[in-house]
Amino acid sequence: MTAIHTPLTAEKPVAPRHVLMLATGAGFSVASIYYSQPMLGILIADLHTRIGLVGLIPTLTQIGYALGILLLAPLGDRHDRRGIIAIKGLLLTLALLLSAVSGGITMLLVASLAIGITATMAQDIVPASAALSPAAQRGKTVGTVMTGLLLGILLSRVLSGIVAEYFGWRVMFGVAAAMVMAITLILWRSLPAMPASTRMSYPALLGSMYHLWKKYRPLRRATLAQALLSVGFSAFWSTLAVMLHDVYHTGSAVAGAFGLAGAAGALAAPLAGTLADRHGPAIVTRIGTALATLSFAAMFLLPLLSPAAQLALIVVSAIGFDFGVQSTLVSHQSIIFSLEPAARSRLNALMFTGVFIGMAVGSALGSLALEWAGWQGVVALLTLAGAGSFIVRLLSPDTAQAAHAAA
């Protein structure tokens, strides 16, 4: 395998305004994946289609994101990341505009796939922030950018729920396009050129990812466990708006407001990192997967409660499983980054490919479960996915031993 040539390390600290700019770019781009979820109930009525077809919108978006991470992330080592970010930002803007003017479900599904592929500019912004930072500031800078990414996931549902209810879903996609275009222009004008770090050909880069996947068993275990959690996470969020609309007769603004429960995710990242440093990431993954599973299963109690108490329990469950999912994700990143430091971006790309495959599967299965078995069927799916992830982590060897394990 051709060696990877590491570029010179940045010496000057990154200006706070540039860190804020990178965090905003990561947030705006990844938010594009989630805008549709609180609007699904409105889309069913407006496009005169059924739950199963509308459920394909988040499914295709997540499939596109997985494909974009797997096939496009390696290009950051081969080409100037500044140019890649600009190109993806422009294409993401066009995909969002295509969604805004879609005349039917077919065009919207095509646009959703394109949104997922191009929204992976977030996966170029995060390593770009690391490349621009000196070693002493790198953790803080990347952490801030990741906070922006998490806030993009959190606030996207809130924003889209409100905008769609009061102004329409087409306006939401138009607003999203304007925000992405604005931050893309700012990034293009402000970021320095970032030379390629390797001369490996594109096929060789993809081949190196295959060898990494084959070599490291801890990578495969982490990916499987996080992907299973993602099935439950996505099945919940992709069906929540439809369930709330049908059962509680709420609008998209209420569905979007449930996204505020995702604040637990932003809180989980530093806490999980601290626990992993003190006790090791393996124990944190077991705690996180157990918490997510229990939070999913708690919703089996909904039929026993009053409507107000049911909504309260859904909020509490969302906080609990989001905390568990994000804690497990941070700990899994700690595990895989220790395997081969020179290949961290590719290791991360491999795990996130699995994560978004899980997201896509969760969206598809969640819609089918809701259509065929109602909300209790969705809860059963969530609980099975969480339990599967917990079993994978429970049966995994300790991280200290696993870090050196190969297939």
Q: Are residues 88 and 221 in the same domain?
A: no
Give the model's pLDDT for residue 136.
65
3 is a domain residue: no
Position 140 scores a pLDDT of 63
CB distance 272 to 330 below 8 Å: yes
* 149 within domain boundaries: yes
- For residue 20, the enclosing domain spans 10-199
135/41 Cα distance (integer angstroms) = 47
Report DSSP state, residue 3: P
Are residues 247 and 182 part of one domain? no
93 and 182 within one domain: yes
CB proximity list for 294: less than 8 A, separation 6 or greater: 320
Task: With respect to residue 265, please indicate whether it lies within any of the assigned structural domains.
Answer: yes
Query: 1 in a domain, yes or no?
Result: no
Please tell me the distance from the alpha carbon of residue 404 to that of residue 252, in angstroms, as a whole number. Answer: 48
56 and 159 part of one domain: yes
Question: Which of 152, 176, 199 corresponds to the end of one domain?
Answer: 199
> 160 with 257, same domain?
no
The tens-digit pLDDT sequence of the chain (407 residues) is: 444 444 444 556 777 888 889 989 999 999 999 898 888 888 888 888 877 788 888 889 988 988 898 888 777 777 788 899 999 999 999 999 999 999 889 999 999 999 999 999 988 887 777 777 776 665 567 667 777 887 888 788 788 888 988 899 999 999 999 999 999 999 999 888 777 666 777 888 888 889 999 999 999 999 999 999 999 998 998 888 788 878 887 766 676 667 676 666 666 666 766 676 677 788 989 999 999 999 999 999 999 999 989 999 998 999 899 889 888 887 887 788 778 866 777 788 898 889 888 988 998 899 899 989 999 999 999 999 999 999 999 998 764 444 444 44
Count of domains forming the chain: 2
How far apart CA 185 and CA 191 sit, in angstroms, is 10
Nearest CA among 256, 259, 236 for reference residue 378:
236
**CATH code, domain with 330:** 1.20.1250.20
User: Integer distance in angstroms from the first to the last C-alpha of the chain?
Assistant: 18
pLDDT at 201: 79
328 and 214 part of one domain: yes
Statement to judge: residues 119 and 232 lie in one domain? no
- pLDDT confidence of residue 397: 76
Provide the whole-model pTM: 0.74
